[in-house]
Amino acid sequence: MPRLEEYRGIVGPDTLEELHLLARALDGKTVLHINSTAMGGGVAEILSRMVPFLQELGIHTRWEVIKGGEAFYAVTKKFHNALHGDDQGVTSRDYQIYEDTLDENLSMMDLGADMLFIHDPQPAALVKKRREMDGRWIWRCHIDLSQPSPQVWDFLKPYVEQYDASVFSAPAFAQKLPIPQFLIPPSIDPLSDKNRDLAPEEITLVLERLRIPTDKPLVTQVSRFDRLKDPLGVIEAFHKVRSYADARLLLVGGPADDDPESSLVMEEARERAKGDPDILILCLPPTSHIEINAIQRASAVILQKSIREGFGLTVTEALWKGKPVIASAVGGISLQITHKYSGMLTHSIDGTAHALKQLLSEPEYGRWLGGNGKEHIRQNFLLTRHLRDYLLLFLFLSHGQSDFIHLPDQPAAANP
């Protein structure tokens, strides 16, 4: 795990100084993050990097994962789809399973902390315990809540309203709430195994080991096998460009502990790709960070044809690697890509196919897009910016109603 000091060359000295200054003001505070999976998906990815850095900054930080059975994850998957607008009929029994599981977790968890960061709907109802505790409770919503199924949102909203604050990744994701709302986009860690520079030999070795041929340009989508990531749409778009460009499609995914549907969706993709030797479907274990890094770096074009999306960290990762990305204009993807400047935004299978045809035939244009994308990520979506936003939020919440927060080491005269 790199130390913060190693980021100096990437983000500049001021950013690091600011982090230390803010952290000193929070001296002695404790933070607890709670989510629903230790591995797989964007939230676990971020926490695995964020938690050690908070600790390095002197903030005592714990990360806990709620426990649930198959039935619980089937329910929370239904919630997830319904909150994205696709209501598959949540029953009263489902709500009961949700409540019972969180009650069991409450009876086992140590919730003592100054700041509790509860991630996404799965653990949201833990807030029941808030009145018995001293800490400030923050609901950190990573998903797009702009068009939720009213039924599921009506169930969750009374819980969310009990928090001290909520955090959304983008203005467009938020809901009207009677509690303060903060907008904090997520980030990637440029020095993690998923994103650090790799030597060309390292990339070659990984591709050989995974038996990915490199005789044709690789077009890649990295995503959990989830219908909202539209793997079948990706295959269809790829089929449409086959007669114009000789390329290979790679769909890379892996299981997430909290997603019972993924093997079914992967089977559907395999079925659709059957008989086409230029489509490879790879299921990698959730620890395959260097493998995904190498695959993204070896790709000519990266796709992210999501139907709905949270922030879309796979897009951030690909842009950071200077890759041309073709992605749906959904969720946080529109914050990351300016159409025809730092990537291509599309709205359909045809649009994706059209952009893919163009980028496969104009690699120079693709490199220009990728270069612009990388700079945008450097300035806005690296871990250090994310850490700063969280520290500012903690400071705000720990200072009650006061309008001014005096930071240590600041001469009093400098403060208004």
Closest distance between ligand UDP and the C-beta of residue 47, in Å?
Answer: 12
- By beta-carbon proximity to ligand UDP, the closer residue of 330 and 397 is 330
Q: At 371, give phi and psi (nearest 5°).
A: -65, -45
**C-alpha distance across the termini of the chain, in Å:** 39
Closest distance between ligand UDP and the C-beta of residue 247, in Å?
Answer: 21
* CA proximity to 33, closest of 106, 105, 140, 130: 140
- By beta-carbon proximity to ligand UDP, the closer residue of 173 and 394 is 173
Closest distance between ligand UDP and the C-beta of residue 219, in Å?
Answer: 16
Residues in the site for ligand UDP, rule: CB under 6 A? Answer: 41-42, 45, 194, 222-224, 252-254, 284, 286, 292, 310-314, 317
Closest distance between ligand UDP and the C-beta of residue 214, in Å?
Answer: 20
- By beta-carbon proximity to ligand UDP, the closer residue of 152 and 282 is 282
Helices (H), 138-259: 150-160, 200-209, 231-241
d(CA 119, CA 167): 9
- By beta-carbon proximity to ligand UDP, the closer residue of 163 and 311 is 311
Cβ within 8 Å of residue 88, ≥6 positions away? 78, 81, 82
Closest distance between ligand UDP and the C-beta of residue 272, in Å?
Answer: 18
Closest distance between ligand UDP and the C-beta of residue 396, in Å?
Answer: 26
Structure tokens belonging to residue 217: 């340009």
Closest distance between ligand UDP and the C-beta of residue 253, in Å?
Answer: 4
d(CA 370, CA 249): 19
For the stretch 392-396, contacts whose Cβ atoms lie closer than 8 Å and that sit 24 or more positions apart, written own/partner, are 392/22, 393/138, 393/165, 393/167, 393/182, 393/184, 394/26, 394/29, 394/31, 394/59, 394/114, 394/115, 395/22, 395/25, 395/26
* CA proximity to 42, closest of 160, 165, 144: 144
Name residue 198's beta-bridge partners: none
- By beta-carbon proximity to ligand UDP, the closer residue of 114 and 317 is 317
- By beta-carbon proximity to ligand UDP, the closer residue of 135 and 190 is 190
- By beta-carbon proximity to ligand UDP, the closer residue of 222 and 344 is 222
d(CA 143, CA 409): 38
